[in-house]
Structure 1
Amino acid sequence: MSDDPNIPDPSQDQTTSEPLSRAIGERYLTYALSTIMHRALPDARDGLKPVHRRILYAMRELRLSPTGAFRKSAKITGDVMGNYHPHGDAAIYDAMARLAQPFAMRYPLVDGQGNFGNIDGDNPAASRYTEARLTAASEALMEGLTENAVDFRPNYDGTLEEPIVLPAAFPNLLCNGASGIAVGMATNVPPHNLHEVIDACLHLIKAPDARDDTLVNIVPGPDFPTGGVLVESRETIAEAYRTGRGSLRLRARWAVEDLGRGAWQIVVTEIPYQVQKSKLIERLAELIQLKKIPILADVRDESAEDVRIVLEPRARNVDPEQLMAALFRVSDLEIRFGLNMNVLIDGRVPKVCSLKEVLRAFLDHRREVLVRRANFRLDKIAARLEVLEGYMIAFLNLDRVIEIIRFEDDPKSVLAAEFKLSEVQVEAILNMRLRALRRLEEMELRAEHENLTKEREGLAAMLSDEGAQWTKIAEELRETRGKFGKSAPGGQRRTEIGAAGEVTEIDMESMIEREPITVILSKMGWIRAMKGHQPLDAEIKFKDGDGPFMALHAETTDKLMVYGANGRFYTLPANNLPGGRGMGEPLRLMIDLPNDAAVIDMFPWRDGIRYLVASTAGDGFIVNSADILAQTRAGKQVLNGDALLCRTVSGDHVVTVGENRKMLVFALDELPEMGRGKGVRLQKFKDGGLSDAICITLADGLRWQESGGRTRTEPDLTEWLGKRAGSGYMAPRGFPRDNKFN
């Protein structure tokens, strides 16, 4: 057995006990912190997550410069996975592919060759088919890595080193944006225009206490790679940048194309950021098929390298603005981009930052990079000056130096002792080539010594003066702005900042063509709409085992109200019903009506109508039609309890009949009008419950239909007249045995 105390004894029990809550809590906290810091949130300094940083660094190690040759993406992915990022190659390749997509990155960091996906949402080709190299922008992010600009740490197995953060010559977090979901937090930073962001940095250098409103004047809003129009007020954008959170409306760019002779069509040339064109067109085609936008006749995708989506109106007299306003409401031609600038400050602390705080984090990082690179350069200059001084001593005493080297057994120690040289200087002299002994070389050494001395003085002066440091940073930023700003290809702003304008309410119902329909609901719950007002008792085909349950006349502009046994009212647009050529579709796929809740009634909604609703227990009340409209599939709860009936209110009295065949007539004004509730007692029962209820005009009496089809009337209802919640009296002779008024 080993005597090493670090090796556990296998003969001893290695089990430890701890509370489950603490064990789970500690492990989940570790996982959450790992997700936040190493996967989901970007670093505010270089705007990158670890996987992106490792991809760029591995490509740099492969010497894949912007002017060099391409390498297979599989090779790059393999190097990243084997050396720095021990995770799935598919995840690494997907991350690398996104860095190469011009529709995803405002300033792509990878130059891809081959199929790297497209705006339609198609996936990139397999990594063995594509090639990649770095771009000039990614080179700018890594400029200074060899000059001790940032700290390095061991990779996952300790065999190599990787940078903790990149030097970042420009604010990549804002320029390219970032998105990610961690545990308990998320981030969503939109891309911006590099020229504007650097202008904001330069202003912040001049005025460190600059107001947020001033920065918004310089950076008016995001600049998405896919363009579009940002229709949000300046106040909303300013508030989002001030707090680090907000919601911005982004619309597609469109124009009316004249076809001559009064005909026209709408052409969409830019779609919102992160919207897949193929899914957008599918949605538009679905709107046409379902007739949700009746004034839209057709949609065509005529895109090639650019985006060109053609929208044809139903008629020439359609207003283009109204058509687009309707499409903006129901499709991804308009999206809301949720801005959430939750980033890692100094690579450790997650924080929701304002625009100013993000810029300040970048500038502080640039200052640290500048100081570290300057100190690195000073060390290099000091080492070179030491060598040059040794060379100059050797040239002044050239004959003696040659004599020592030729005749002394230990020339190194003799040179060091006689000319008071350091070990570095002696090594440099001994390694000097004979061709360097010419006179011209001595002059070059003196000139180099003088230049390096001046450079050292300049660096020392800069390091001692904070103002000089910020001046140098501003110079570097201006140089970067010149490379990638408005004067560079693709550097102009792409997203237009448009006026928010008045939010016009579009009446979608006015766009529906008004046509008569006959709505048919089967016993098994299949619903359809036949064109025209067909006879309600006409013979219609149903599925095997199914049959007619309910039929009514309506129009395509109507809203159908479906009343369920659960006391909920559901709203169903009549124009959305399936056609009458087939058997229809299940009603429960259109509304969230539980399987155990039957359909009690169905009717077209009309404004100003009142309804009597009652439960099987005999409770009920009057509800206005305005209170039963539902906005969602889940419907609107009106009656609390097991619903029994829904009757249109008319006349001046209510007639109720129980399962015990006792009937009661009471005044209508005894019932309250409510929006929701259990209601009040209509009739009292010793056993059983309510069977039916109806509203009548007392002077007209009560009518009901007998089984043979003959109508009977009870003109005098004095015998059954009473107060609400009474027991009532036995129904008149001849009243239907099913206790229904029919």
Structure 2
Amino acid sequence: MGNLTIGHIEDCTFSRAISERYLAYAMSTIMSRSLPDVRDGLKPVHRRLLYAMHELRLNPENGFKKCARVVGDVIGKFHPHGDASVYDALVRLAQTFAARYPLVEGQGNFGSVDGDGAAAMRYTESRLTTTAMLMLEGLNNNAVDLRPTYDNEDREPIVLPSLFPNLLANGIAGIAVGMATSIPPHNAAELYKAAQKLIEKPEMNIQSLMKYIKGPDFPTGGILTTSQAEMVESYETGRGSFTVRAKWIVEKKTPKNWKIVIIELPYMVQKSRLIEQIADLMQQRKISFLEDIQDESTTDIRIVLEPKSSLLDPKQIMERLFQLSALENRFSLNMNVLENGRIPKVMSLKDVLQSWIDHVHEGLVRRSNYRLEAVNRRIEILEGFLKLFLHLDEVIRIIREEDEPKKRMIQIFNITDLQAEYILNMRLRSLRRLEETQIKEEHCGLLKEKADLERLLASSDLRLQRVSSNFFELEKIFKKRKEDKRLTELELPPENLDLSGLEEIDKEPITISISEEGWLRAFKGHELDHSSWRFKEGDSHAFAIEIQTTDKFCLFDSSGRVFTISAGELPGGKGFGVPVRTLVEIAVDAKIIGILPLVKEIQEVLLVSNNARGMIVTADILSSEKRTGRQVFNPDKDHQLSFIFPIKDENHALFLTKAGNMLIFPLNQIPRMQRGKGVSLQKTKGARIKTIRLFNLEKGLAWKEKGALKKEKDLKLWIANRGQQGRRSPDWA
């Protein structure tokens, strides 16, 4: 908006002013708050916390300091934000159930997996862990650049040296403006191994990398059920999700007396909320196969589930609980990070790993240059000592008697300014103690180190070998430590596990109702009076079926998709129910055209569009557990699926158009298909279908008229093959 002076007012549109300021806010959020740097995997607040603790010398071998002292230093020197947010960030770095490799060691109450908060910062204490020291190693050797702090009174690192792959090992989550990041934790030993292989073969693809990185490794353990193919795709694109289940065992006292014990929870699932959720499901009778749930946890997770019957299958019980509760959880992957601390970018697993390797390599170059400068300086000083060693008495005389001893020594002994300055700064006692042998030994050692450093700096291959060697040593360290073994197991879920055995426990008759506006609900009992049901204003009854609480049913929409819903998931009939779109994903321009129970009595279903195309599908292909359902019928353009009819003992179909043409033909003339747009069932010449009836020809056609049941068996005039126009309908039609 230009440079403003005091008393100056500049006219601008409100939209321009808002957009400029919001853009500045958005960039600040993205760059300085929510997204991590790909090199060290830290947000600014975490980086400043570790640096402040490093400055306070809170190393693992030193004592703890109050967290209030740490937070005070952070907000006073580096991070001008609220103390509560900074303390929350510190607490998370110390929580063993949140961080796979804690960077802070806490002393005191730092919260629990139940969701309990940490004690106030005046009570808790902290210091750095050995893992955090890997993040900081080389900080004092010019491994990274420093910048002025917000008040220009101090300096802080732009990024940490990070010999530890923190971004992938600990993971991170953050929400910025218009973008977010979510990266699960991984096993450090696996990451070091993969990094070595990537240095060895830079052309490796994700599939090859995953021979070493098995998948996420969560601090709370659990079982990862995502397939290898899905993980490869997620890691290649940088976006996806992972499914994690609780780990459980069966404890048996006798063959007929057993219980299920949950010993590990999915990542970020609070134990107390999970138990409340399962208890609510029991109260709502959605999981009536459980007798009781008890929390027997101490330092380890132990949630005990007692079944109502010992005849039940524990696998079936857990499979249903995985479907209904947070015992199964999905962790999203969105590797949106700051490339070189500046540009937000969604990276693949290989890109993230390579960026970290490049950062470590750059740190090695900077540390080596820093050390080489120090070695050259020391060599120069030692060479000055060697020149002056035989003339110490003369040196002492010059220092005592000459007005400008430095200038005089440079003239007489031909030494450099640095050598003269260093000798002048030495105490007389130190000068007398100089020993030529020690000086020569140190000089020789430094010359050798200098040659090694110059050789290292001259060869990229040598440097990468050094980096790989360091990774190998660190891999061995992380492999040895018991707490760093892989915690999350990999196991695919059982396929096609029949859960029908669970449903026999609590089987009740219910009537499922769906309104014209798509509101679903369940009423207890059968043969109910629909006229007493209440609907929202402008809404009315559309369809109803009678099933059991243990059954499933299908919804068909006008686009030809079918959706499966469990009857037990629906609310009771006291309210207006739930919108069907909250249970399944129906297209905006589609509407529900029918409802059908998934029961053994119905093996086949007739599907017909409004332009009289149709087909028969078997009931087994209608079941779909996905919210998006399954496409089974493909209506022609500008047409839709309009009719569904379950087929039991019927063998003929009657079609009547709004133009008054009626056709009867055998059902066996309609093809059986798994998916398609069907075949022509009646020539309509543009007229819409008015009525379709399925019936058994031997029993005749029956219908109700003014409350009376009527039958007609003389139907020969209208019986023909499918696809014909039919004849003028009789008066009774």
Deviation digits for residues 601-653 of structure 1 (CA, Å, limit 9, x no counterpart): 998666368799999xxx99999996999979999999999x99999998989
Q: 1:487 aligns with which of 449, 469, 480?
A: 480
Alignment equivalent of 1:191, drawn from 185, 205, 209: 185
Asked if 1:200 is matched to 2:198, the reply is: no
2:294 corresponds to: 300
Provide the C-alpha distance between the structure 2 equivalents of 1:701 and 1:216, rounded to a whole number of angstroms: 66
Give the match for residue 442 of structure 2: 451
Equivalent pair of 2:249/2:260 in contact (CA under 8 Å): yes
Map 1:341-380 to 2 at 5 A. Answer: 341-380=335-374
- Residue 331 and residue 31 in structure 1: after superposition, are their counterparts in 2 closer, same or farther (change >3 A)? same
2:268 corresponds to which residue?
274
Q: Is the 8 A contact 1:110 1:134 kept in 2?
A: yes
Shift of 1:665: 9.0
Deviations along 1:186-230, whole A, 9 cap, x unmatched?
Answer: 443332222232233334444555565554333333322222233
Distance 1:226 1:374 in 2: 40
TM-score when normalising by structure 1: 0.74
Alignment partner, residue 556 of structure 1: 549
Q: Tell me by how many angstroms 1:158 deviates.
A: 2.5
Q: CA–CA distance in 2 between the matches of 1:256 and 1:701?
A: 58
Give the corresponding residue for 1:131. 125
Alpha-carbon deviation of 1:538?
A: 14
The Cα shift of 1:494 comes to 1.9
| 1:147 equivalenced with 2:141 (yes/no) | yes
Q: Which secondary structure state, in structure 2, belongs to the residue aligned with residue 111 of structure 1?
A: strand
Equivalent position of 2:718 in the other structure? none
Cα distance change, pair 14–471 in 1 and its aligned pair in 2 (3 A):
same
Instruction: Name 1:159's counterpart in structure 2.
Output: 153
Asked whether the 8 Å contact 1:381–1:452 carries over to 2, the reply is no
Q: How does 1:32-111 map to 2 (within 5 A)?
A: 33-111=27-105
Contiguous gaps of at least 5 residues in structure 1: 1-5, 684-689, 718-722, 732-740
* Other structure's SS at 2:278 match: helix
Once the two structures are overlaid, the 10-residue window that deviates more, 251-260 or 195-204, is 195-204
Q: Which amino acid aligns with 1:313?
A: P
> Hey, what's the Cα distance between the residues in 2 that align with 1:48 and 1:713?
79
Matched, 1:381 2:372: no
CA offset digits 1:89-132 (Å, max 9, x no partner):
33322222211111121211011222222222333334344322
> Is 1:442 the equivalent of 2:437?
no
Question: Could you tell me how far 1:497 is from its partner in structure 2?
Answer: 3.5
1:23-53 Cα offsets, whole Å, 9 max, x none, are 8777666555544443343323222222221
CA-to-aligned-CA distance 1:40-93 (integer Å, 9 cap, x gap) = 433232222222211111221222222223233333223223322233433322
Shift of 1:561: 7.7
Partner secondary structure for residue 153 of structure 1:
strand
| 1: CA distance, partners of 2:513 / 2:235 | 54
Deviates more, 1:381-390 or 1:645-654: 645-654
Q: CA deviation at 1:373?
A: 1.4
CA distance in 1, matches of 2:141, 2:629: 66
Q: Which residue number corresponds to residue 538 of structure 2?
A: none
1:627-666 equivalences in 2 (<5 Å): none
Q: Which residue of 1 aligns with 2:576?
A: 586
- For residues 551 and 268 of structure 1, the distance between their equivalents in structure 2, rounded to whole angstroms, comes to 40
- Give, in whole Å, the separation in 2 of the partners of 1:520 and 1:247: 34
Q: Give the 5 Å matches for 1:393-412.
A: 395-412=389-406
Is contact 1:174–1:190 with CA below 8 Å preserved after alignment?
A: yes
Indicate whether 1:323 and 2:317 are aligned: yes
Q: Cα distance 1:333–1:448, how it changes in 2: closer, same or farther (>3 A)?
A: farther
For residue 253 of structure 2, the aligned residue among 259, 265, 282 is 259
User: Could you say which residue in structure 1 is the equivalent of 2:222?
Assistant: 228
Q: CA deviation at 1:259?
A: 1.5
TM-score relative to the length of structure 2: 0.75
Decide whether aligned partners of structure 1 residues 74 and 609 sit closer, same or farther in structure 2, where only a CA change above 3 A counts.
same
Q: 1:118 aligned to 98, 106, 112, which one?
A: 112
Indicate conservation of the 8 Å contact 1:294/1:513, yes or no. no
The RMSD of aligned alpha carbons is: 5.6
Residues 252 and 259, structure 2, Cα contact 8 Å, conserved in 1: yes
Code of the aligned partner of 1:493: R
Alignment correspondent of 2:504: 513
* Larger Rg computed on CA atoms: 1
SS in 2 for 1:269: strand
- How many Å separate the matches in 2 of 1:54 and 1:602? 59
Shift of 1:657: 14
Output the CA distance in 1 between the equivalents of 2:334 and 2:682: 54
Tell me if structure 2 keeps the 8 A contact 1:191–1:224.
yes
Stretch deviating more after TM superposition (191-200 or 329-338):
329-338
Identity across matched positions, percent: 42
Contact 1:302–1:310 (8 Å) recurs in 2: yes
Residue-by-residue CA offset, 1:212-255 (whole Å, 9 max, x unaligned):
55543333333222222334455554555455455444332222
User: 1:2-37 CA distances to partner (integer Å, 9 max, x unpaired)?
Assistant: xxxx986668764468995xx877766655554444
1:435 & 1:682 partners in 2: Cα distance?
A: 118
Q: Which amino acid aligns with 1:556?
A: T
Residues in 2 aligned to 1:378 and 1:236: alpha-carbon distance in whole angstroms: 48
Aligned to 1:313: 307
Letter matched to residue 602 of structure 2: D
Cα distance in structure 2, aligned partners of 1:109 and 1:680: 71
Amino acid in the other structure paired with 2:108? G
Residue 144 of structure 2 contacts residue 159 of structure 2 at CA under 8 Å; is this kept in 1?
Answer: yes
Partners in 2 of 1:512 and 1:348 — Cα distance? Answer: 56
Aligned letter for 2:548? E
Count residues in correspondence: 706
Task: Kindly provide the CA deviation profile for residues 160-202 of structure 1, in whole angstroms up to 9, marking residues without a partner as x.
Answer: 2211111112222222223334455544333222223223333
